[in-house]
Structures are given as structure tokens and as C-alpha cells.
Amino acid sequence: MLTADDGGAAAVVGGGECATTRRATPTTTRSATSLRVFYFVDESTTAIAYAEGHVMRPSRVRVLHSLVRSLGLDTYMKICQPRPATPQELRGFHCSAYVECLQKAPVICGNPLDGASLSYQKAFEVPVYSCDGDCPLFPEVWKMVASQAGASIACGEALCRGEADVAINWAGGMHHAAASHASGFCFVNDIVLCIQRLLRRFQRVLYLDLDVHHGDGVEAAFYGNTRVMTVSLHQFGNGFFPGTGNYGGPETARGFAVNVPLTARTGDATYCLFFRTVLTAVVRCFDPEAVVLQCGADAIVGDLIGRLNITTAAHARCLAEVLQLRLPTVLLGGGGYHVFNTARCWAIDTATALGRQLPCYVPRHDPYYEEYRRECAPHRPTLHVYLDPEVDRPLTLRSAWGEWCKLCRSITAQMRYARIVRELFLRAISESTVKRCRDGADISVDGKHDVG
């Protein structure tokens, strides 16, 4: 959904969310250039495909990485080849039988009507080569999920060791997968594995989800865990998948899960206001020590599934606000079913993390330039994805006032409980430290102790 030519581009400007035309200007980012960024990519898995015709296309990471190189961003960060996750690491969250099913994918796919194969497919919701199912089993699935999970675990390890300020795995972010079955195009929940690794070093981890779908798998995995706060902004209503993620209140406060349901056609100004409202409240009350940000690009206008009117500029603006917290941060991918919009979105997010200025347009020397040009015809392809004023009609900020009031009431109730838990935690830490001093125990410099 792009309108741009050599002279100008349609853009959302100001706070009223009306599309106006202005001259395209180079993209600038607000994060500092001093951040140490690790970028994990396994190009050996980018040619893997789901069932023929499936909307999820891992090849988008190949298109993205090509654009990152064409923009010269790879020279400002450390490019890392991730190691595959081991079955034992996956069993840190997923049940053994399900992990075994994924490992046996070539055998199951080779004889899908065998009794044992049918049992696996039914038990774990992974039909073989089915375009109708969300998660069709295919022979290379183990290689793909081991790479996804391995890279996200490596991101967490890089932060735990203090080697990186920001660690990126755009192939990850599979937030729907449950412990015992696949869901919503997600076979393994690499996010949960990443957060588990971070919890070895950091007392409190904040999980933020920008995907157009509710981050139900991550929320369920940590629901009630006072060391992990999950926050999800997502399209909600009219049967939109997965159908969960409505506002919480006093009755759900103990879950440490904050949800921000959005109506279709929500635009930049509303989205950024809601994000800033939640982020400010959560950071003040929860006081996280590390952040995991799932940057699903299916919230971007023009997606094949999502129906929000969010531009890449708003997406990057939310990321910049997270980076301004100056906390160790993991950036993960997620949804995004328009390959070239997704590649542009995550390239801009990468530049935001690096604090680099970008040109207005996709470089002509990019190997996929002709594909970008066809997508944006008859105009020259811009890096940012803008609203088309002839098609896209984002909801006004005024129309979102009622929803913002609901959000504020929900946040107030949930953060009141979070603040109480935080105070009890600090009191327990203080009492534990005093006891250790009395007993003559060594006190670590960072003051992090397990509280029973």
C-alpha cells in the first residue's frame, strides 16, 4: 500500500492521522550509535518453504538480509552465524514427545498415512503438506526450528555475557507455539527459550509484542510469573486469530500480562499513543532489567492478513522508545506476510537500532530491486511503507478516545498489583541481604539473590 515517486511520497504526518503528501526525506533514527549490536542470521535456512502456497515464507529473511547489505548496515554490527538449538534445549519448554515429532518430520512426511505418522499429526496439530492447516509438517522443519530457536537463545546469551546491548534474530519471534503443539504458523516458541535464558542473569524481563496477532503462547508460558511482564498490542475482534487478548483488570492482574486490543484500521497516532501509555506505566511499575521486543511486521499496512493502518515509521518509533530505555534488548521477528514490506520494515528497525540514517529509496543495486519496483509500480520503491490516501482510511485519534480510557483503567488496575509485588520483592531482597551479612556470606556486586 505504497504511493511514492521520484519527487514525493504519501505519508502520515502530525497527530491527526490524515494522509498527506510531502517530499520524501532520508530516514533518520533517534537511537544512539554507541549501541553494540549482534545480528544473527542463518542463510542456510532461508530457502526452506512451508507447504506450497502457504502464506508464511521464510525466504523473507533472505530478502531482508540482502537489503541490509545493500544499505551497508552490516558494516556497523557484528554478523553472527547461530548454532542450531539442541533437542535438550527445546525440551526446556516443549514436551519431549512433540520435540521427537519435529525431529522425525522426514520419516512422517515420507509415510504420512502410517498409523504412527497419523498419530503424531493429530496429537501435535501438524498435518503433512496441508495448505489448509496453519502448521503443515514438512521434511526440513527440524532444521528450520532448530535454527530459529538457536539464534534466539544465542541472543539471550549475548546479553547475559554483556557482549551486546542489542541482539537481533529476525527469523525468530514465533509467539504462538505452545509447549505441546504448533499453532499459528509457529512450531517452536523461540521467544520463551530466549526469555528463559535471560532469566538466568536478569531478575525481571519485559516482553513487548508488536505483532498484529495476540502473543498468546508467550503470555501462557509466563502467566503468573512475577519475573516476566508480557505486553501485547494486537488486532482484536470479529473472530481475528487467536481470539484472545482482551483488556485485563483486577481479576487478571496476577497474570502479569497486559493486553492492548486494537480495532481494524488503527493508525499511527493511536498506535503510538497506546504503546507509549503502556510502556511508561510498565517500566515505572515493573522496573525491567532486560527487554525482548517481538517486531511482527504484519501490523504494517498492506499485510496479507493484518488489517491495521500502521506505517514503518510508527513501527520504528516504538522501537526507538524501547531503545531509549538503555536496557539490554533482544529484537525478534514474527509475522509479516508481504515479503517486501516485511523486509523493508525490519531493515528500518535494524537501522534504528544502529542509529544510522537511511536513503529515501531502495538501493538500485539490491538484488531484489526489480521485485520491489513491481510491488510499488508505477513509482520508484521507497524504503518506508506509507499509507495510500486513496485506499487506506485509518481511524482518527478522536475515535479512539473511548478505547484509550479503557486501556488506562486496565493499566491502572494491573500496575497497582505489579507495584505491590515489586515492593514485596525489594523487601525480600533487603531482608535476604541483611541475613547474608549477618551470616558472613559474600554479597555479589549486582545484589541479585534468589528469594525463596
Instruction: Please report which helix (H) or strand (E) contains residue 222, including its range.
Output: helix 216-222
The H-or-E segment that residue 38 falls in is strand 37-40
Strand residue runs (E) in 94-227: 166-169, 205-209
- Told to judge if 338 belongs to the known catalytic residues of this protein, a careful annotator would answer no
DSSP 247-295: ---GGGGGGTEEEEEE-TT-BHHHHHHHHHHHHHHHHHHH--SEEEEE-
The alpha carbon torsion through 297, 192, 197, 207 (nearest 10 deg) reads: 50
Cβ atoms of 258 and 248 within 8 Å: the answer is: yes
Cell of 385: 511503507
Task: Enumerate the β-bridge partners of residue 261.
Answer: 234
Q: Which of 175, 176, 214, 315 is catalytic?
A: 176
Q: What is the DSSP pairing of strand 205-209 with strand 290-294?
A: parallel
Q: Which residues contact 69 (CB under 8 A, 6 or more apart)?
A: none
Distance (Å, whole) CA 255 – CA 230: 9
Instruction: Choose among 202, 219, 190: nearest CA to 331.
Output: 190
Q: Which residues are catalytic?
A: 176
